[in-house]
């Protein structure tokens, strides 16, 4: 959309003021290399929280990670509890005494000790459930509301929590992306982002863009009325150019730089993509099918510049007991890509397919992996 604005195809109305007339929040980066966090919270963030709470304001903490801890690990043999159906570690939920896969839904009870060497297990990392416990212990006088998909099930539960926030029963708000969209919290004075680095180094090319959009959304919760709020971002990369540009120039400045990086590397919107995905219980069958599909691709993309890249495994190769991989077709010209697909896909349909292989075509994919 922003590229079409630059090319004059779209108009770009700008909302330069908030409806309430409040000023944008003041932004502050906390270098976690200089201020090591204790239980996920750095000293500068804790100080800012205390000041806001003592002044009567509410505080919002954003952490896009559910559960008590991302990993249950043995400190001696380093074994972690992993899903038997996916290439993923199980997330530990202490209150439910449960290990859960966020990808396929598999669940089981955690073992009392390491099944490999018999040592006691430790929790590594933190999710919203664990951070909620730590906040309740540190700020005993200020009730905590946690909003994530695990804690908010059903509209009535959501309305009860939002009502408690509006009535100021809850002074500390903690949640995932569910908490960042479409809510008006008039008494909110501080937004703290526990881990601003999530997404900045994503393997998906849209990762930094999504991170920037989330940070803009979550920052917009603070300072909703007559006074500006405070945004505190915890990061281990305070000099990252995209992060600094986002804070200095806003989303427009960030997007301009991100667009230039996309142009140089040949990613959308300066290229058009189609992903041929395949999956099967056996990885060898997927590879065999995609190798045949690549060989069946028309020469030179039907007289145009269409690159076919791969096969490559998905970012999570095994999900629900099936192995996933893909081919990526990329071209700077949409019409030529469509012409290429018009010749390629019929050829793929005629290929002998290894047993239990499923495949699909995704044009203009939101994600590649």
- For 226, the token pair is 């007559």
CB atoms within 10 A of CB 73: 20
Buried b (16+ CB within 10 A) or exposed e, 107-144: eeebeeebeeeeeebebebbbbbbbbbebeeebeebeb
**pLDDT for res 213:** 86
**pLDDT for res 302:** 46
Question: pTM of the predicted model, to two decimals?
Answer: 0.76
**pLDDT for res 15:** 65
Closest by Cα among 80, 175, 59, 181 to 122: 80
| Partners of residue 362 on adjacent β-strands | 275
The whole-angstrom separation of Cα 29 and Cα 196 is 9
Domains of the chain, start order: 2-67+130-264 (3.40.50.300), 69-125 (no CATH), 272-363 (3.30.70.360)
| Partners of residue 233 on adjacent β-strands | 29, 193
Closest by Cα among 331, 325, 343, 327 to 307: 331
- For 212, the token pair is 């920037």
Omega cis (within 30) before 59: no
Phi, psi of 48 (to 5 degrees): -65, -40
**pLDDT for res 348:** 96
pLDDT in tens, the chain (369 residues): 777 666 777 777 766 666 555 666 788 999 999 999 888 899 999 999 999 999 999 999 998 775 555 678 888 888 888 889 988 888 888 878 889 888 888 899 999 999 999 999 887 766 778 888 899 999 999 999 988 877 777 788 888 888 888 899 999 999 887 777 667 788 889 999 998 887 677 777 888 888 888 888 888 777 655 667 899 999 988 998 888 888 888 888 888 888 888 888 888 989 999 999 999 999 999 999 999 999 999 875 444 589 999 999 998 899 999 999 999 999 999 999 999 999 999 999 999 888 899 999 999 998 887
Sign of CA dihedral 298, 304, 309, 314: negative
Q: Give, in degrees to the nearest 5, the angle at Cα 109 between 149 and 143.
A: 40
């Amino acid at each position: 959309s922003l590229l079409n604005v630059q090319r004059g195809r779209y108009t770009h109305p700008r909302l330069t003021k908030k409806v309430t007339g409040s000023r944008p929040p003041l932004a502050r980066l906390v270098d976690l290399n200089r201020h090591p966090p204790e239980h996920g919270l750095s000293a500068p963030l804790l100080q800012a929280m205390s000041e806001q709470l003592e002044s009567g304001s509410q505080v919002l903490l954003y952490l896009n990670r559910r559960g008590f801890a991302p990993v249950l690990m043995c400190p001696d043999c380093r074994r972690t509890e992993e899903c038997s159906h996916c290439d993923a570690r199980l997330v530990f939920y202490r209150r439910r005494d449960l290990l859960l896969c966020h990808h396929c839904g598999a669940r089981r009870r955690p073992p009392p000790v390491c099944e490999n060497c018999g040592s006691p297990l430790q929790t590594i990392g933190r999710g919203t459930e664990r951070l909620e416990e730590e906040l309740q212990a540190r700020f005993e006088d200020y009730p905590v509301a946690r909003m994530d998909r695990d804690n908010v099930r059903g509209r009535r539960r959501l309305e009860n929590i939002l009502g408690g926030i509006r009535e100021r029963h809850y002074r500390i708000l903690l949640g995932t992306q569910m908490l960042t969209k479409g809510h008006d919290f008039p008494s909110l004075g501080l937004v703290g982002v526990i881990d601003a680095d999530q997404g900045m180094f994503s393997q998906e090319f849209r990762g930094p863009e999504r991170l920037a959009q989330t940070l803009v959304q979550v920052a917009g919760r603070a300072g909703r009325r007559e006074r500006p709020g405070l945004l505190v971002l915890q990061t281990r990369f305070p000099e990252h150019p995209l992060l600094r540009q986002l804070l200095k120039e806003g989303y427009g400045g960030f997007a301009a730089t991100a667009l230039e990086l996309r142009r140089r590397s040949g990613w959308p919107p300066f290229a058009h993509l189609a992903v041929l995905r395949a999956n099967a219980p056996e990885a060898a069958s997927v590879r065999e099918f995609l190798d045949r599909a690549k060989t069946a691709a028309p020469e030179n993309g039907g007289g145009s510049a269409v690159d076919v890249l791969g096969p490559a495994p998905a970012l999570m190769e095994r999900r629900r007991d099936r192995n996933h991989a893909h081919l990526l077709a990329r071209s700077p010209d949409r019409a030529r890509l469509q012409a290429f697909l018009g010749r390629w896909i019929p050829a793929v349909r005629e290929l002998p397919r290894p047993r239990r292989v499923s495949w699909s075509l995704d044009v203009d994919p939101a994600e590649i992996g």
